[in-house]
Chain A
Amino acid sequence: MYLNPPPQPVPTSPETAVATALPSTQPLSGAQATLHALLAEGVDTVFGYPGGAIIPIYDALYDFKEQLNHVLVRHEQGGIHAAQGYARSSGKVGVVFATSGPGATNLVTGLADALIDSTPLVCITGQVFAHLLGTDAFQETDIINITTPITKWNHQVTDASEIPEALAKAFYIARSGRPGPVLIDITKNAQMQKAEFPPYQPCNHIRSYRPRPLVRSEYVAQAAALINQAKRPLVLWGQGVLLGQAEQEFKQFIEKSGIPAAWTILGAGALPTGHPLNVGMLGMHGNYGPNVLTNECDVLIAIGMRFDDRVTGRLDKYARQAQVIHLDIDPTEIDKNVKATVPVWGDCKETLPLLTELVEARTHPEWRQRFRDHDAEEIAAVIQDELFPTSDELTMGEVIQQLNELTQGEAIIVTDVGQHQMVACRYARLNHTRSNITSGGLGTMGFALPAAIGAKYGAPERTVVAVIGDGGIQMTIQELGTIMQTGVNVKILLLNNQFLGMVRQWQEMFHDRRYSFVDIASPDYVTVASGYSIAGRRVEYRPELQAALREMLEHPGSFLLEVMVTKENNIFPMVPQGCGVGEIRLK
C-alpha cells in the first residue's frame, strides 16, 4: 500500500464488531467500488468517454444509471472542460472518466487549465493491467508522470483494495485549501478485482497536508492599521473570494471600509457589476481607472488574487508607491510576484470578517471621484463607440450590451479566449457570483463550448450563454454532438470577425499589420448546427440583432446565434506587453 493506512475500527464489544462487519455482505469489483465512492462523495454527474482500459467502470456504470448521470462527450478535452464548467457553476468537484493512453493524454490541456485556475476536479483514468506497466503495452502511457506538473495531486491504483481510500483522498485534496485537479489512474486488473470493502470513509485529514492555515491575528491587526491610515486605498480581488465562498464577507468588508474594488477576470461577479464600489476590471484589457490608479493608491489590498502578469504588466512599474496587503490561502503566492508589506495568510472567509471588525467605517469620496473621472474619460474614448457604434458594422461590445438588456445580468456567461472574451468580461452584467466562467490563467481556446455544457449541468436552473469566437468554436465544435445527444440547453453566441482576432490585433499593433495566418475560414455554422439538430440563426445587421438575441434566449433548447461583427476592431484600453499599468493606452 502506498497510501497512509486508514484508521482501523476498534471492535470494543461484539455489537460494534457486528455493526462494522454487517454492511459488506458481498464482494464488489474495484469498478463498482469506484462508483460507490463517487456516490458517497455526493457526485451526481460525470463527464467521460469510454475505452478498453476503463471498460470495467463503464460496465459497472450500466447498473448505476439511476443514481449517476454520465454525459458522453465527443472528445476527452471536451469532457474535462465540461467538468470544469460544472465545477465553476456549482462550486462542487467536477468528475471526468477517460481511458488509458490517448484518452488520458487528451485530458492534459484541461488539467493544466484547471490547475492554474484552481478548479476542483477528480479525473479517473483507466490504465493497462498492472503486470503490463512499463512494457509499452497497447494504449499504455505514463499518465502519472505526464500529469505531475499539472495536477495538485495524482496517484496510480494497482489493487482494488486501495480504491476507496485513494478516491477519498482525491476528493479531499481537490476541494480543500486552494482547490485543484487530481488524477487517479486505475489499472484494469484493479477495476476488475473483487474485494470486500469496509464502509466508505471520507478523508478529512492528511498528515502532511495543511489546506487551512491558522490565521495570525497580529497580521490582521497590522493590515487593519495600514487600512485605517490609508488615504487612497484600493482593493483588488480575484477568484479566491469565490473559491472561499466569501462573497458576503467581502461585500461587508468593502462596504464598511468604503474602499473602491477592482477585479481580475476570474474574480468577476463576486460583487455585482452595478455595486457602487465596483470600479471595474484590472489588467491588460481592463478598465482605465483601476489600472492607472493602481499606481497612485497608497495601500493596495489584494484579496484571493495572485498578481498574474496579465494583471500587473511590468513588475518594476507596478504599484511601487503602495504598501501591499495580500490575503491568500496559498503561501506560495505571497511575495511571489509582488512583495507584501503585510501578508495575511488564510482562507479569506475567515480573514475578511476579522479585518472588517478592525477597520474604520469610511467613504473616501474624493478618492472615489478619481475613478469616476477616469470612467468618464474611458467612456468618451472607448466605451461609447464600442457599445453604441455609429458605423454600420456590428461591434462585439454592442452584442454584449444588448444581451445584458435581455438577461438583466441573470445569466451565466461562459467565454472562450480572444477579443470576444475581453469584451464579454468587460461589459457583461453579472448580478450573481459564479456567473462568469472563463479560462483565465491558461487562456485555452476551445474551452467555452464544453465548459458551457458543464456549467448548465452544474446550474440547471440558470440560463447559460457561451460567447465564442470563430476560431475557438472550431477547436471543440464536435461537442455540438454532446448537446444533440443530451438535449442540454446552452445558448451559443458566436461572434464572427472572420479572423483570429486577438492575434490579428497584436500583429496590427506590434508587427506592422503583417497578418500571418490569422485569416481563418469558417463553415456555415447555422448549417453545421442544424446537422446536429440544433436551432440557429445568423445576423449581419443591427436592426435584427435584438430580435435574434431574444429568439436565442427564448428558444426552448440550445441555440446557435452567429453574429457577424467588425473584422478589424481592436480591444482598448490596453496595457501593451512590457509596459506598466500606468501606461495603459486608450487608443
Chain B
Amino acid sequence: MHQQSIDRREYNITAYTENQVGLLNRIAIIFSRRKINIESLNTSPSEVEGIHRFNIVVVETEDVVRKIARQIEKQVEVLKVYFNTNEDVIWQEMALYKVPTDVIAERVIVERLLREHGARVVVIRKDYTVFETTGHREETDKLLTVLQPYGLIEFVRSARIAIIKDSQGFHHKLREFERTEPSPEVSENDYLNSRDKVFTM
C-alpha cells in the first residue's frame, strides 16, 4: 500500500473516440467506480473527421493507469487509448485573468509583471481588462499570485491539453492500428449470411 503511494504520479491519458452521446459518462464512471479523482479533463474534436479526443489527467500508479486505459479502450466507441507521463508529452493549460483596467493603466509595475509572464490582452473595457497566458500549472499560478495584490477580479483556467512527444500524430497511429489489428469484414451472424435478402422493410 505504502509502496503504491510512492509510485503515484501524474499520467496523461489520451483517448480517441467516436463522437457519441453518453460516452463521456461511460468513461467518467470507469474512474469514479474506482474512486479515482480526475485532475483535469479536456475533450474536443480531433484532426480526424468524426473522431474526438479526450485528454484526462490523473495521479495514479502505472499499474492502475494501464488497467484504466484498457477499460476505456474496451468501450465500444473508443478507438485507441494511450497513457504517458509528463516527460513523454508536451502539455499546456490556458488561464484568463480579469484585472481592473485603472490599476493597469496607473501601475507600471503591473504592466511589467504581465509582460514578464508573457500575458496577452484579450479584452479591454473601461472597468476591466482580461489577460491570457498559456503554460504549465506553476507558470499560470505564478502570474495569479503576483496579480492578486492588484485587485484581481476573476481567474479561470482550462483543462490540460497534451500532445505525445514521439508520436507521429494520430493519423499514423490509426493507420498502424489498422495494420496490426485490422478489422476483417467478417459477418458473425451465419443466419444472416444464409438469408441475404431475408427481407426488406
Select which of A41, A155, A205 is within 8 A of B189 by beta carbon: A41
B-facing residues in A305-326 (Cβ within 8 Å): none
Select which of A33, A148, A200, A208 is within 8 A of B198 by beta carbon: A200
Chain B residue with minimal CB distance to A19? B197
The stretch that binds B, out of A279-287, A329-337, A399-407, is A329-337
Known interface pairs A172-B188, A204-B189; A28-B201 also in contact (CB < 8 Å): yes
Q: How far is the CA of A577 from the CA of B119 in the complex (A)?
A: 60
A208/B78 in contact, CB under 8 A: yes
- A429 in the interface (beta carbon within 8 A): no
Which residues of chain B come closer than 8 Å to A206, judged between CB atoms? 76
B-facing residues in A149-173 (Cβ within 8 Å): 149, 152-156, 164, 171-173
Q: How far is the CA of A23 from the CA of B73 in the complex (A)?
A: 39
Select which of A24, A154, A212 is within 8 A of B201 by beta carbon: A24
B192/A202 in contact, CB under 8 A: yes
- B67 in the interface (beta carbon within 8 A): yes
- B109 in the interface (beta carbon within 8 A): no
A40/B199 in contact, CB under 8 A: yes
Chain A residue with minimal CB distance to B73? A331
Select which of A149, A154, A199 is within 8 A of B197 by beta carbon: A199
The stretch that binds A, out of B15-23, B130-138, B144-152, is B15-23
How many residues on chain B are close to A (CB under 8 Å)? 37
A200/B201 in contact, CB under 8 A: yes
B17/A145 in contact, CB under 8 A: no
Q: How far is the CA of A207 from the CA of B20 in the complex (A)?
A: 13
B-facing residues in A54-87 (Cβ within 8 Å): none
A-facing residues in B4-51 (Cβ within 8 Å): 17-18, 20-22, 25-26, 29, 33
- A102 in the interface (beta carbon within 8 A): no
Which residues of chain A come closer than 8 Å to B198, judged between CB atoms? 39-40, 200
Q: How far is the CB of B163 from chain A (nearest CB, A)?
A: 21
- B175 in the interface (beta carbon within 8 A): no
Known interface pairs A197-B201, A336-B67; A205-B22 also in contact (CB < 8 Å): no
Q: How far is the CB of B146 from chain A (nearest CB, A)?
A: 44
- B3 in the interface (beta carbon within 8 A): no
Main secondary structure of the interface of B (DSSP, over half): loop
A42/B201 in contact, CB under 8 A: no
Q: How far is the CB of A485 from chain B (nearest CB, A)?
A: 29
A2/B21 in contact, CB under 8 A: yes
Known interface pairs A153-B76, A200-B200; A214-B189 also in contact (CB < 8 Å): no
A149/B29 in contact, CB under 8 A: yes
Q: How far is the CA of A149 from the CA of B34 in the complex (A)?
A: 12
Known interface pairs A40-B198, A199-B200, A208-B78; A154-B22 also in contact (CB < 8 Å): yes
Select which of A155, A202, A205 is within 8 A of B183 by beta carbon: A205
Bitwise interface map of A from 1 to 24 toward B, beta carbon under 8 Å scored 1, else 0: 010100000000000000000011
A149/B33 in contact, CB under 8 A: yes
Which residues of chain A come closer than 8 Å to B76, judged between CB atoms? 152-153, 173, 206, 208-209
A207/B18 in contact, CB under 8 A: yes
Q: How far is the CB of A545 from chain B (nearest CB, A)?
A: 44
- B74 in the interface (beta carbon within 8 A): yes
Known interface pairs A148-B22, A208-B78, A208-B79; A202-B189 also in contact (CB < 8 Å): yes
- B173 in the interface (beta carbon within 8 A): no
Which residues of chain B come closer than 8 Å to A42, judged between CB atoms? 189, 191-192
B199/A214 in contact, CB under 8 A: no
B185/A145 in contact, CB under 8 A: no
B199/A148 in contact, CB under 8 A: no
B22/A145 in contact, CB under 8 A: yes
Chain A residue with minimal CB distance to B180? A214
Chain A residue with minimal CB distance to B199? A40
Q: How far is the CA of A155 from the CA of B191 in the complex (A)?
A: 24
Select which of B74, B78, B79, B180 is within 8 A of A330 by beta carbon: B74
Chain B residue with minimal CB distance to A144? B22
- B156 in the interface (beta carbon within 8 A): no
Instruction: Report 5 cross-chain contacts, Cβ distance below 8 Å, ordered by A residue.
Output: A24-B200, A204-B188, A210-B183, A212-B184, A335-B66
Which residues of A line the B interface, CB within 8 A?
2, 4, 23-24, 28, 32-33, 36-37, 39-42, 144-145, 148-149, 152-156, 164, 171-173, 175-176, 197-200, 202, 204-214, 330-332, 335-336
